[in-house]
Structure 1
Amino acid sequence: MNRVGIRCDAGATIGVGHLMRCLALAEELRDRRLEVVVLGDVGGLGWAREQLARRGLTLIPGPDSPAAMVRAARRLALDAVVIDSYDLDPRCSGALREAGVRVLAIVDGDDRGQDADVYLDQNLGAERRPDRSPAGAVRLAGVRYALLRDDVRRLRRQEPVETVRPEAAPESVKAVRRGTTEPVPRRSVAAGRPPRVLCFLGGTDAAGVVSVVASGLVATRAPFLATVVTPRAGALDHLVPADGQVIHRIPPTDDLPRLIAAADLVVTAAGGSVWELLHLGKAAALAWVAENQRPAYEEVVSRGLAAGLGRLDAATAADGPARACLRALLTCARTRTELGMRGPALVDGEGRARVADALLSS
């Protein structure tokens, strides 16, 4: 195998999750000296184009029909195609296979009837769901196969550990990690400095709702230094921070992994970035925005890997559990440390190598 095509899209309304995980696989394939071509549309997002350019990846308009996909594969001499899309005609995968092209379909639960050689569902708990793959197909399921970019993997550090008892944590967050007694990384917040908080809802805030989460943070009245990612310049103008609360808005950025690594607490949605947070051992408070995020949210929270805020609009409910949870995380460094302790062992960063092995095996 010499050349692999990746068919995925990104944009202000559909987000960048598909592109980011495909870039991770592209890096792995390039490391193995394969040529990689990206077929799709990045919706005019300049920083997404920069991600491709920085990796030396060519972007070609993505075909949308089975016949067009086959023509593109033949024109580009593709030996395999990776498809990661909720919208692409699912018959494209079968047409490629009939043309002799090996197909990897990246899915999130529903395979949409695609006919692929390899199916990848990198979500936590996917390994326990029934395998409905066609006979002869390979199914890769669970966070053992999580696709992480070099930008994320290189930020992981080995740190001293200490043992934290779960009973030392406030009741408002203890429920989401009951039974935790494992060693945890030792991290501390500098004396007198409020915790650094990173708040984002996907790489682009596609639903335009990050201000709801920021409002929930402000409502706790606890001090913090927050960086909020949103393309909407006036999205936070209505907020009135309390004493000790500082909010800094930035537009979508390709520097998100570094911002995650520098944060004491990350408040985000239950999307693909969760695996990055677990890999880096970050305390996270999650909300679910779209219905398709709910299964992953419930799996992660029920296993004590993140604090749960519930559906997004619950984050601002007066005197609700989400607000109490946020306040506990903002005011107790030990609680944040304990919450982030299980992720690094669960998401080891080698998932993309396992996926590449399966794709390249004939």
Structure 2
Amino acid sequence: MPDFLFRFDANQRVGAGHLMRCVALIEGLLERSYSVRVQGDISKPYSDRLEQLGVLRVDNDHKINAKCIFIDDYRDLSELISEEQTHAPVVIFEDNGHRSSPAVKLVISAFGNKLQLKHRYPNARICCGIGYLSFRAEIQRAKIQNRVQHLNVTTGNLVGMAQQMKVIITFGATVQQDLINRVIRVLDGILHESCAVTVYAPVEFNFPDCDRPIYFEPITEAFFRNVVTADLVICAAGQTFLELLYIGIPVVGLVIATNQIDCATHLRSLGATVIEFLDSLEAELTQILLEKWPRLHKNTTEIINEFNESGERNKQISTRIQDLIGYRETELLSHLSNLIL
């Protein structure tokens, strides 16, 4: 019987945010020699991440027992826990605001209301706050890579950087063709002609006619190694948004799902750039680009001061998030350990 069974999906329908935040905890548990299994609808390339960690996946039809069940899924708990598993303590990551179960012994919620959660889960320990989030090793490495890259930037090569500016668009594992094409049209009307645009998506599709080539890249494990060289990333205001801010990448987050609203609101209070209403996407994104990233459309002679100002702004936001996130990871892992004693 494994110590922990994680239940989550990662595919084109729900995205990969559930996987990414669970991986950080799985890494911590594996380092402490606990056994972990994963169950859920997980498509490539996300299933490859689990294989690289050495974590075994369990077929969805198999009712496996575990000492503790960890759920990062918004469906009703009765759909996720079989009768054979009801004896095990349950941990849930975030919540949809409508569930309740006496089997839940620990609730982790970065942006939830502690009193409301305690009312629904009276038998559970409630861990609320962004401090209970943590980042997987891949993100830690990307942050170091980004820091080294900026240390190597000198005034002498800043002008040269203007000739290789690039903007990345990604909405993770979900297919958002119409939204991506709306963003592309805005960028094409504003960006400097030397600025390249790359779309990271699970599948390739037709882009609108533009004055510049639009490049497609599949989402692979190399994404975060490549993204640190971007001058700007436009993504959904979820897990990837949070990770990019932590790394120190210039980023605009778009709220494309209701479960991203609380995250976006909190991160905006820390200085992050968020577009909450997609109905006004074109107008808001245009204004943001003109005001916050003029380097992407100005003459290259104006690059130096703006690069320094933009870099300092990103560094400040990254530092704020670094100070808030992860400082309770050890405490959280201790709570998980206690559940299987």
Q: Where on the TM-score scale, by shorter chain, does this alignment land: which range?
A: 0.7 to 0.9
In the alignment, structure 1 residue 72 sits paired with structure 2 residue 59: no
Shift of 1:84: 0.8
CA distance in 2, matches of 1:187, 1:93: 52
What residue in structure 2 maps to residue 29 of structure 1?
Answer: 29
SS across alignment from 1:333: helix
CA distance in 1, matches of 2:16, 2:110: 16
CA distance in 2, matches of 1:12, 1:85: 15
In the alignment, structure 1 residue 191 sits paired with structure 2 residue 159: yes
The residue correspondences of 1:1-362 to structure 2 (distance < 5 A) are 3-42=3-42, 45-62=43-60, 71-73=63-65, 78-90=66-78, 92=80, 98-99=86-87, 101-108=88-95, 110=97, 112-115=99-102, 116-123=104-111, 126=112, 130-133=115-118, 134-157=121-144, 159=147, 190-194=158-162, 195-205=165-175, 209-223=179-193, 224-236=195-207, 238-241=208-211, 247-304=214-271, 306-316=272-282, 320-327=283-290, 328-331=292-295, 332-340=306-314, 341-347=316-322, 348-349=325-326, 352-362=329-339
Q: What are the superposed Cα offsets for residues 112-142 of structure 1, whole Å, 9 maximum, x if unpaired?
A: 224411101124xx4x653432334211222
| Alignment coverage as a number of residue pairs | 315
SS across alignment from 1:22: helix
Residues 1:34 and 1:151: Cα distance change in structure 2 (over 3 Å): same
Shift of 1:7: 0.8
Residues 1:266 and 1:353: Cα distance change in structure 2 (over 3 Å): farther
Residue type of the alignment partner of 1:325:
I
- Contact map agreement 2:8 2:73 (CA 8 A) in 1: yes
TM-score (normalizing by structure 2) = 0.80
Shift of 1:89: 3.4
- Contact map agreement 1:94 1:114 (CA 8 A) in 2: no
- Contact map agreement 1:91 1:114 (CA 8 A) in 2: no
Moved more, 84-93 or 3-12: 84-93
- Contact map agreement 2:177 2:205 (CA 8 A) in 1: no
Residue type of the alignment partner of 1:250:
E
Q: What's the % identity of the aligned pairs?
A: 22
Q: What are the superposed Cα offsets for residues 194-244 of structure 1, whole Å, 9 maximum, x if unpaired?
A: 3332211123435763222222222223352332112342332x1313xxx
Normalized per residue, the structure richer in helix is: 2
Structure 1: gaps (5+ residues)? 161-183
Shift of 1:285: 0.9
TM-score (normalizing by structure 1) = 0.76
- Contact map agreement 2:69 2:90 (CA 8 A) in 1: yes
Residues 1:344 and 1:247: Cα distance change in structure 2 (over 3 Å): farther
